[in-house]
């Protein structure tokens, strides 16, 4: 079972950002799957590093996109991204120091930032209304 299924509410109507968001959701689901089937520490570690790499690249791309469209909320949004990267790094350190299993708190955090962040925070720069209002 996927940790987070892609749903219409996650679609922003900005092709490049939607594509990256889908990649992030897929990377997160992959970590969950590897963890569930106990794929081994090195495999899970590599998948986590990949997610962090994708996340950093996505945040940079998203900040560039917001700058390009003159989005006024860029500074606040960039601070939220920086805070999330700090939190992801902290969760990753906890994983590295642990037994090789990914903590439930880490998955909860990923679902929250991917779900709530895209639907609540990223949505603000998007041209599409929420799916509920469509």
Residues found near Fe ion in the complex (CB under 5 A): 62, 122
Residue 114 CB: number of other CB atoms within 10 A?
21
Phi-psi region of 13 (alpha: psi -120 to 50; beta: other; left: phi over 0): left
Rank residues 82 and 101 by Cβ distance to Fe ion and give the closer one. Answer: 82
And the tokens for 90?
């902290």
CB of 66 to Fe ion, least distance (A): 9
Q: Which residue is nearest to Fe ion (CB)?
A: 122
Rank residues 33 and 63 by Cβ distance to Fe ion and give the closer one. Answer: 63
Please give the DSSP secondary-structure letter assigned to residue 40. -
Please give the DSSP secondary-structure letter assigned to residue 132. G
Q: CB–CB of 54/24 below 8 Å?
A: yes
* CA dist 12 → 1, 59, 69 (Å): 24, 15, 15
Rank residues 41 and 65 by Cβ distance to Fe ion and give the closer one. Answer: 65
CB of 100 to Fe ion, least distance (A): 29
Rank residues 35 and 62 by Cβ distance to Fe ion and give the closer one. Answer: 62
And the tokens for 34?
């590897």
CB of 85 to Fe ion, least distance (A): 11
CB of 131 to Fe ion, least distance (A): 16
And the tokens for 80?
């939220």
Rank residues 59 and 106 by Cβ distance to Fe ion and give the closer one. Answer: 59
CB of 17 to Fe ion, least distance (A): 6
């Amino acid at each position: 079972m996927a940790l987070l299924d892609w749903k219409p509410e996650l679609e922003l109507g900005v092709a490049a950002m939607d594509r990256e968001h889908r990649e992030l959701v897929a990377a997160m689901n992959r970590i969950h799957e590897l963890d569930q089937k106990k794929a081994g520490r090195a495999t899970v570690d590599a998948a986590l590093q990949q997610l962090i790499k994708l996340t950093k690249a996505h945040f940079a791309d998203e900040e560039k996109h917001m700058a390009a469209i003159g989005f006024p909320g860029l500074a606040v949004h960039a601070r939220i991204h920086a805070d999330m990267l700090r939190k992801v790094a902290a969760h990753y350190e906890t994983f590295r120091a642990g037994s090789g299993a990914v903590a439930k708190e880490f998955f909860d955090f990923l679902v929250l930032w991917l779900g709530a962040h895209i639907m609540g925070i990223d949505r603000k720069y998007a041209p599409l209304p929420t799916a509920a209002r469509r």
